Structure 1
Amino acid sequence: MVVCLSEEGRRALKSDEQLQRDVYEELSWDPTINESNIRVFVKDGLVVLQGHVPHYAEKVAAKKAAMRVKGVLAVVDDIEVKLSFAGHRKDEDIRKAISNALTWSVWIPESVKATVDRGWVTLTGEVDWEFKRKKAENIVSHVIGVRGVSNLIGIKPRNSRRDETKQAIERAFRRNGRITAGRITVEVLNEKVVLHGKVNSWAERVEAGRVAWSAQGVCLVENETQVSNDAGNSARSE
């Protein structure tokens, strides 16, 4: 995790108190989250979430909500999943429910398997796109009884030219309204993509990584972009 701010960028930051209020409001605004048992701590743009929720899906939603808030540079998710009495399931029942859910998905191949140990799910297998890997994890996160997920699904490499992959990602950045084009450089090394440069927010950093992962043949993305609140001003002045 790299968070880099110039002096100008630091002066543009919200106060910790304001950012904390904004994160609490965003958690409250999201109908999938009951924020009553979630605590928010903020230090220089770094948000730490603590407390407990009754479902793993709610834990995931809380982190995403915090990352949406303007001024957030990074999020540490320390929320614990405390299943309610009604939410407890036997591991074998959870495994069967996950197997059925994955089988009925149009995106997930039969090679993807799940094991369950005391509510913790481990996904294995191989897919040909990152979005399928993420889709499998998302499906599992909404199954009752799940406490956590380890996504060990691999991605099969595809033959593609480096220059074509680089140009395709750069065009995707320019099309994307959430990304300040021209501030991120793309480096392609075989099936690995490395991103450098500055972004305006943690949310933009995540979006840049998502776009890079969408390129055909990419098996690994190293997102080394730095969050800098003055990145947008610099881009507009060029």
Structure 2
Amino acid sequence: MDKHIVALGGGGWMMGEQQSELDQYALRLTGKSDPKVCYIPTATGDAEEAIDRFYQSKLSRRLSHFPLFKANLDWRTHLQEQDVIYVGGGNTRSMLAVWKAWGIDKLLQDCYESGIILCGMSAGAICWFDYGITDSDPEKYSVIEGLSFVQGLASAHYPGSDEKAELFSQFANHHINMPCYGISDYSALHFVNGRYHKTINSQTGAQVTIKNVDKTNI
């Protein structure tokens, strides 16, 4: 069974795009007209505003969310019943710390191995990689460890010319055998079985920067 990850640099329902191609692409991978889609809002601290926006997105008629700060009784089994798991943006470092404490990292690994499509924007994009560039520390950008479902480093909201881009280039130059992906707003990368498969854009000018990857494989 193939394993899928769709990593959005920015855009989709969380950034106000209606019927975004980025979201629709992930939904189409299920082959279902109304797939079960579960939103994990940990990176926002389970903020009600973000949860409400998810339900207003109308991605499917079978939407749910996965709270950790007010966990449901069936929280361990709920994720395993989904077609798509969508991880939202927010504080990546805090999200990963909470996941580790609750064992969500291992639960998501099981979901991934079983063929459930993993998708997310910003924090929800970079978390799947070995490393991600984050602004979780308000004083500076930093590189943190992710879940390692996909090899390499990822940076979301990638503009190509700022402190984040400089850190991205430094990392890529010092880790020449590690793939590095800079994903702009309104762009997403699709990985199949841990390997780059396709770039998806929802607006003109969206782009990705890919370093240390054999161009014959992309």
Judge same fold: TM > 0.5, yes or no: no
Q: Larger Rg: 1 or 2? A: 1
Structure with higher helix content? 1
Give the TM-score, by structure 1 length.
0.23
Which structure exhibits the higher relative contact order, with contacts defined as CA atoms closer than 8 Å and separated by 6 or more residues?
A: 2
Give the TM-score, by structure 2 length.
0.25
Structure with higher strand content? 2
